[in-house]
Amino acid sequence: MALGVDTVGRKLLWSIALPGLLAALLGMGYFWREAQLAARDATHDEAMELAEFIGTTFRLPTPEGLPPHTPVAELLRSESQLLRATTELNVLSPDGRIRWSVRSEEAGTRHPDTERLTAPGPQWARSDAHETEVLRPLGEKSCESCHPGAQTRPVGLLHLRVIEPEVHRELTDALGGALVAVLVLGSMLIVATGMSLHFFLTSPLKRLTAAMRRAEEGDFLVRAEVRGTDEISRLAAAFNAMLARLTSMKAEEIDTHRDLQVTKWKLSLKEELEERIAELALLFDVAKSVNSTIELSELLSRISQLVPERLHIPHFSIMLVNTDGLLEIKSTFPENAELEGMTFRFGEGACGRAAETQRVVYVPDINDTSSIFARRALMSGHATGALLCIPMVHTDSVLGVLNFQRPEVASFAPEELELLTAVADQAATAVKNAMLHAEAVRLTMTDPLTGVPNRRHLFSRLELEVARSQRFGTPLSILMVDIDHFKRLNDAAGHRAGDESLRKVCDVLRSRVRKVDTLARYGGEEFMLVLSNVSKEDAYEVAEKLRRAVVEAPQLASPTQPTGHITVSIGVATYPNDATTQDTLVDCADAALYASKRGGRNLVTSYSPGMELHPGRERGISRPNDPSSPSLAKA
């Protein structure tokens, strides 16, 4: 059997049988040793007593007529049975010669250990394993009568060697045999106990451990062997029941894991669906918001507010292509006056590349790019993070660029690129609609020939100015301008020359009015000028300056005109001096114009009451050939 203790049986064997054997061996050894010591001590004591007895006998008086020490000889002869246990008994002279011995043949001879035995010294006794040797000097005061000087030196030596009694040796041998028997019996008991533990404990536990190890490795179908009804068998049965339960739980776990995978898959689909719904909701909100207005400025403002808030974009800007073909920042989030109005050429910076290629340009780290946009962003305090530029394209035409910026590097995911591209497409459609609307409005409010507001816009603006004058009590003047002999011009040079003359006259008038004033085409060859917060006298001065400007314009020379130059007639009316309503004010200006016509043309006439009822020369009419006319004097 191996000496290891890697099994329960061996542990039990070495922890129970071996300590028992060692205890038995130690006990027997102890008793055997004590028996040896007791036998030796008994032999020693017996030898000492015998030596004392014999020595005392030498001191007995010798009866008269008998040889010396006769009692000793008789005692020794009478104690022959006692002396049988004595190995050696001698009476020696001081020089070592044997005077008497239990072996009569040794009497008179010299003892072999004479030097050791005759060495001076007191009485001594030596004991070994199986005998005791005693040397006792003979001679005391009682011996002085027969042995002079016996008191000072010994007259003889008693040498006694006593062997251990046979019974003592037998007892010691019996104890030694018992010790060997205990050793043999203990060894046999250990072997028997080991075999018993091997068959009834170690082997079943090994089989149970092997089954447990297979179960630990995942084989839940293994079963432990059950033999009998002992504790190990009950443990194996309990283990089998546990494995059966674990097998059932494993099957349930597999089913649960499969259900969990299906649930996770459905949950991922749900999350993806929710993301898509959120994206669609955002696109719907963007489409709803941007399509709820057709005003371009309001549309850009809504996009700048909605997109950053819903998509968590801290910095956002919208660029549109201006009339010069440059990308111009129209709106920013948050509002930044330094950026608004900034322009980029196509191909310049990230936004310019996006517009030029009509593709998304993504800059994960602005610090790694040398684009102009990055440098200008640095000036604006947003020089870190990621930049995304998405062009707004409508029918292969670039309308502008949407710029998205986050302070974190590489912070735009691929899914966001798709969503933001869709947002840019929605914004492009809305911006295009707003531009078309603005163009349509411009066409409906602007005269296509001259480029100034048409009659519809004129009366809309005039209505606002009249309302403002009524509210604040300020004057409002209007000038009615008509080109003289325009029909003759058309008949002589053709309608194309007439249209060109209309544009030239309009350019001259437009270049000499204020930005707050409104110059519009009233109809045919007539124009109207609305002068806000201008009195009648000042309006007259303005009209005279415009009349002279037309006369002096070299581009308006025309051989078809009577004077060889295009001229205009102007009528002036002021609110509330001449009229208190819009229509009446227009009628007054028209009457003043016709008064200028009746007065010979190339005149400025201020409206006077009743002027429209008296054709011909009226008050306020100025004639250029009349030195006394007010207009000539003012000119």
**Which domains occur in the chain, in start order?**
8-170 (3.30.450.20), 308-424 (3.30.450.40), 448-634 (3.30.70.270)
Distance CA 109, CA 112 (A): 9
Q: In terms of Cα–Cα distance, which of 578, 505, 507, 567 is closest to 537?
A: 578
CA angle centred on 600, ends 540 and 544, rounded to 5°: 20
As to burial, measured by CB atoms within 10 angstroms (0-12 exposed, 13-18 middle, 19+ buried), residue 183 is middle
Residue 117: CB atoms within 10 Å: 15
Of 134-138, 372-376, 555-559, 603-607, the poorest mean pLDDT is in 372-376
Distance CA 238, CA 215 (A): 14
Distance CA 470, CA 480 (A): 21
Which strands sit side by side in the sheet containing 315-321, from one edge to the other?
A: 343-344, 327-333, 315-321, 397-406, 386-394, 361-363
- Cite the DSSP H helix spans in 152-202: 166-197
pLDDT of residue 140: 67
Of 53-62, 469-478, 549-558, 615-624, the poorest mean pLDDT is in 615-624
Helix, coil or strand: residue 517: coil
Which residue would you say has higher pLDDT here, 321 or 304? 321
pLDDT of residue 148: 66
pLDDT of residue 124: 66
pLDDT of residue 589: 93
Average pLDDT over residues 391-413: 89
Confidence of residue 537 (pLDDT cuts 50, 70, 90): very high
DSSP annotation of 565 reads B
Contact 620, 527 (CB under 8 A): no
Which residue would you say has higher pLDDT here, 511 or 110? 511
Distance CA 247, CA 221 (A): 7
Distance CA 203, CA 619 (A): 143
Residue 431: which residues within 8 A CB-CB, separation 6 or more?
296, 299, 300, 320, 392, 394, 399, 400
Q: Helices 414-445 and 296-311: crossing angle, nearest 10°?
A: 170
Distance CA 534, CA 536 (A): 7
Chain centroid to Cα 473, Å, comes to 70
Give me the sign of the Cα torsion angle 414, 419, 423, 429. Answer: positive
pLDDT of residue 381: 43
Q: Report whether pLDDT(380) > 50.
A: no
pLDDT of residue 635: 26
DSSP helix, strand, coil percent of the chain (3-state; round to 5): 55, 15, 30
Contact 533, 476 (CB under 8 A): yes
Residue 233, amino acid = S
Q: Report whether pLDDT(512) > 80.
A: yes
pLDDT of residue 614: 56
Contact 227, 203 (CB under 8 A): no
Distance CA 406, CA 396 (A): 29
Average pLDDT over residues 103-127: 67
**Structure tokens, 12:** 């039990």
Distance CA 112, CA 356 (A): 139
Q: Helices 18-57 and 70-78: crossing angle, nearest 10°?
A: 140
Q: Report whether pLDDT(626) > 50.
A: no
pLDDT of residue 161: 77
pLDDT of residue 624: 40
Confidence of residue 618 (pLDDT cuts 50, 70, 90): very low
pLDDT of residue 12: 67
- For the chain, the average pLDDT equals 78
Strands 568-575 and 604-606: parallel
pTM: 0.45
Contact 560, 584 (CB under 8 A): no
Helix, coil or strand: residue 618: coil
Distance CA 137, CA 91 (A): 10
**Structure tokens, 142:** 């009682």
Confidence of residue 4 (pLDDT cuts 50, 70, 90): very low
User: Could you tell me how many residues make up the chain?
Assistant: 635
Which residue would you say has higher pLDDT here, 286 or 82? 286
Which residue would you say has higher pLDDT here, 165 or 432? 432
pLDDT of residue 202: 79
Residue 19: CB atoms within 10 Å: 10
E strands present in 352-407 = 361-363, 386-394, 397-406
Q: In terms of Cα–Cα distance, which of 505, 481, 563 is closest to 497?
A: 505
How far, in Å, are 8, 10, 14, 200, 238 from residue 235 at the CA level?
Answer: 15, 20, 24, 14, 5
> What pLDDT, in 10s, does the model give residues 326-362?
999 988 888 888 888 889 999 888 889 999 999 999 8
Distance CA 99, CA 109 (A): 8
Confidence of residue 527 (pLDDT cuts 50, 70, 90): very high
Residue 551: which residues within 8 A CB-CB, separation 6 or more?
565, 567, 602
Q: Report whether pLDDT(625) > 50.
A: no
Q: Report whether pLDDT(551) > 80.
A: yes
Q: Report whether pLDDT(284) > 90.
A: no
Distance CA 438, CA 432 (A): 10
Residue 122, amino acid = P
Q: Which residue has the tokens 């339960």?
A: 245
